[in-house]
A and B are shown apart, each in its own frame.
Chain A
Amino acid sequence: MIRSLAACACLVLAMVLQIWRDQGFPRRELDTQKVLYVRSPEVLKRLVLGFDALAADVYWIRAIQHYGGDRLDSGLPRRYELLYPLLDMTTSLDPYFNIAYRFGAIFLSEAYPGGPGRPDQAVAILRKGIAAQPGKWQYYHDIAFVHYFSMRDPVAAATWFRRAAAQPGAPNWLMPVAAAMLTQGSDRTSARFLWQQMLGADQEWLRRRATHALLQLDALDQIDRLQALIGSTPKPPGESYNWFWLVRSGRLLGVPLDPSGTPYELDPVTGRVTVAQRSLLFPLPKPMDPR
Chain B
Amino acid sequence: MRAVRSIALNVFRESVRDRVPYNLVLFAVLLIGSSYLLAQLTAGQDVKIIKDLGLAATSVFGLFIAIFIGIGLVSKEVERRSIYALLAKPISRPQFIAGKYAGLVLTLAVNVAVMTAAMYAVLGYMTWIETPAFKASWEAPGTDPALLKAMALIFIELMLVTAIALFFSTFSSPILSAALTFGLYVAGSLNADLRNFEQVVDSRAAAWLARGLYHVLPDLSAFDIKTQVVHGLPVPAAYLWSTAAYGAAYIMALLLGTMVIFSKRDFK
State yes or no: do A and B touch (Cβ within 8 Å). Answer: yes
Give chain B residues whose Cβ lies under 8 Å from the Cβ of A99: 43-45
A96 and B221 contacting across the interface, CB-CB below 8 Å: no
A53 and B41 contacting across the interface, CB-CB below 8 Å: no
B42 and A50 contacting across the interface, CB-CB below 8 Å: no
A53 and B42 contacting across the interface, CB-CB below 8 Å: no
A51 and B56 contacting across the interface, CB-CB below 8 Å: yes
Chain A nearest Cβ from B217, distance in angstroms: 14
Q: Is B189 an interface residue (CB 8 A)?
A: yes
Scan residues 72-122 of chain A and give those whose CB is less than 8 A from a CB of chain B.
Answer: 94, 96-99, 103
Chain A residue nearest to B233 in the complex (CB) = A96
A46 to B192, alpha carbons, bound, how many Å? 10
Binds B, one of A5-13, A17-25, A58-66, A144-152: A58-66
Partner of A50, one of B43, B48, B49, B189: B189
Chain A residue nearest to B48 in the complex (CB) = A57
A96 to B232, alpha carbons, bound, how many Å? 10
Chain B nearest Cβ from A44, distance in angstroms: 13
Partner of B42, one of A52, A61, A96, A98: A61
A97 to B227, alpha carbons, bound, how many Å? 9
Q: Are A46 and B190 CB-contacts (below 8 A) given A51-B56, A53-B227?
A: yes
A54 and B190 contacting across the interface, CB-CB below 8 Å: no
Binary CB contact string for chain A from 27 to 39 against chain B (1 if under 8 A, 0 otherwise): 0000000000000
A96 and B220 contacting across the interface, CB-CB below 8 Å: no
Chain A nearest Cβ from B181, distance in angstroms: 14
A99 to B231, alpha carbons, bound, how many Å? 11
B189 and A60 contacting across the interface, CB-CB below 8 Å: no
A61 and B226 contacting across the interface, CB-CB below 8 Å: no
B230 and A53 contacting across the interface, CB-CB below 8 Å: yes
Give chain A residues whose Cβ lies under 8 Å from the Cβ of B198: none
A89 to B190, alpha carbons, bound, how many Å? 18
Scan residues 187-207 of chain B and give those whose CB is less than 8 A from a CB of chain A.
Answer: 189-190, 193
Interface bin, chain B: 20 to 34
Chain B nearest Cβ from A182, distance in angstroms: 30
A61 and B41 contacting across the interface, CB-CB below 8 Å: yes
A57 and B227 contacting across the interface, CB-CB below 8 Å: no
Interface centre among A51, A56, A57, A64 (most CB of B within 10 A): A57
Q: Is A228 an interface residue (CB 8 A)?
A: no
Chain A nearest Cβ from B150, distance in angstroms: 10
Q: Is A1 an interface residue (CB 8 A)?
A: no
Q: Is A49 an interface residue (CB 8 A)?
A: yes
A99 to B38, alpha carbons, bound, how many Å? 15
A99 to B48, alpha carbons, bound, how many Å? 11
Partner of B45, one of A54, A57, A96: A57
A94 and B227 contacting across the interface, CB-CB below 8 Å: yes
A194 to B231, alpha carbons, bound, how many Å? 35
Give chain A residues whose Cβ lies under 8 Å from the Cβ of B227: 52-53, 94, 96
Interface centre among A51, A54, A96, A103 (most CB of B within 10 A): A54
Give chain A residues whose Cβ lies under 8 Å from the Cβ of B190: 46, 49
Give chain B residues whose Cβ lies under 8 Å from the Cβ of A49: 185-186, 189-190
B41 and A65 contacting across the interface, CB-CB below 8 Å: yes
Q: Are A50 and B52 CB-contacts (below 8 A) given A64-B41, A99-B43?
A: no
A103 and B231 contacting across the interface, CB-CB below 8 Å: no
A56 to B226, alpha carbons, bound, how many Å? 13
Chain A residue nearest to B43 in the complex (CB) = A64
B45 and A50 contacting across the interface, CB-CB below 8 Å: no
A52 to B190, alpha carbons, bound, how many Å? 12
A54 and B42 contacting across the interface, CB-CB below 8 Å: no
A50 and B224 contacting across the interface, CB-CB below 8 Å: yes
Scan residues 126-141 of chain B and give those whose CB is less than 8 A from a CB of chain A.
Answer: 139
Chain A residue nearest to B53 in the complex (CB) = A54
Scan residues 210-255 of chain A and give those whose CB is less than 8 A from a CB of chain B.
Answer: none
Binary CB contact string for chain B from 137 to 178 against chain A (1 if under 8 A, 0 otherwise): 001000000000000000000000000000000000000000
Top 4 nearest A-B pairs (CB, nearest first) are A96-B231, A54-B56, A53-B52, A54-B52
A-B pairs with beta carbons under 8 Å apart, 23 shown = A46-B190, A46-B193, A49-B186, A49-B189, A50-B59, A50-B189, A50-B221, A51-B60, A52-B227, A53-B56, A53-B226, A53-B230, A54-B53, A56-B52, A57-B45, A57-B48, A57-B49, A60-B45, A61-B38, A64-B42, A96-B231, A98-B139, A103-B43
Extra contacts besides A50-B220, A96-B228 (9): CB < 8 Å: A51-B60, A53-B52, A54-B49, A54-B56, A57-B42, A57-B48, A98-B231, A99-B44, A103-B43
